[in-house]
Amino acid sequence: MDETLELTERRVTGCCRPALAPRLDAAAAKRLSDDLSILSHPMRLQILDLLAQRDGQICVCDLEAALPVKQPTVSHHLKLLREAGLIDSERRGLWVYYMIRCEAVTALRDRLLTQLDALR
Amino acid sequence: MDETLELTERRVTGCCRPALAPRLDAAAAKRLSDDLSILSHPMRLQILDLLAQRDGQICVCDLEAALPVKQPTVSHHLKLLREAGLIDSERRGLWVYYMIRCEAVTALRDRLLTQLDALR
DNA sequence: CAACTATATTGACAACCTTCAATCTATATG
DNA sequence: CATATAGATTGAAGGTTGTCAATATAGTTG
């Protein structure tokens, strides 16, 4: 039985139309979902919010005091945000101060916006 | 030792400033992260993309053919998207056709945009 | 340098998420 | 009604992520 016949049969049954392929390929989908994943945790959102609010700098102990998790957990999320390029840190004496990288947040926002708008 | 003294000491040490509280409360952060989570999977993004592209309707067998996962996995992601209100379905005979809910995607996009813009 | 403090790292554990084979349900058709 | 097909559901297995106690590191201060 040849493919042409098979395709015709499928069309006849009323179901599937020919060749449906994603515009968004697997790699692009992965990149977009990575962009979304870094943001999709309440604690990371609250940390970004705190850093944005006090647009100077905040030390870890302030963050720890403002959030309902222990210090290693705060450090863990800070590390993820830093690896994603969304925040930066600077040691001053005993303390480490964190600050938001506005251009990076803006760039991320713009990427998300562009790609979400393509989904319509 | 009273609190006032403690606060003064902290300020003197150069670290923590008074009262840092998230503008984004825990519940709002959870809602936002839920919005992000539904999107943050490559397969769901590709499904939305396929549905947006063919803005009519697509049956599950077409989706299954276009994606590198088995039928139960496709159904699983479709269920999550439907529960999130981003897509809709309609049985026609043996087949179930899925369609994107543009207003819902737009509303989600707008929510994200608003809240991300507050993070700066 | 000893004692101390702020933060980072490690490792263990639990919770959650993704996937699939197997099975179930609904519909169609001979 | 028997058989067949599309899709949903269930349950198990594996993977990833989030949390914390314990510990390590880096800087400070007497």
Which of A33, A59, A112 should we substitute to test contact with B (largest number of B Cβ atoms within 10 Å)?
A33
Q: Which domains does chain B have, with CATH numbers?
A: 29-118 (1.10.10.10)
3 state SS for B28-60: HHHHHHHHHHHHCCHHHHHHHHHHHHCCCCEEH
Please give the pLDDT value at position B84: 98
Q: What is the pLDDT of residue B54?
A: 87
Spatial distance between the Cα atoms of B14 and B28, rounded to a whole number of angstroms: 32
Nearest-angstrom CA–CA distance, B51 and A17? 13
pLDDT tens digits along A49-70: 999 998 778 999 999 999 999 9
A118–B contact, CB cutoff 8 A: yes
Q: Which residue has the higher pLDDT, A30 or B4?
A: A30
Neighbours of B60 (CB within 10 A): 18
Per-residue pLDDT of A8-24, as tens digits, reads 333 334 466 666 788 89
Q: Do B119 and A100 touch (CB under 8 A)?
A: yes
> Are B70 and B60 a contacting pair, CB within 8 Å?
no
Q: Is the CB of A91 under 7 A from strand D?
A: yes
Report whether pLDDT(B66) > 50: yes
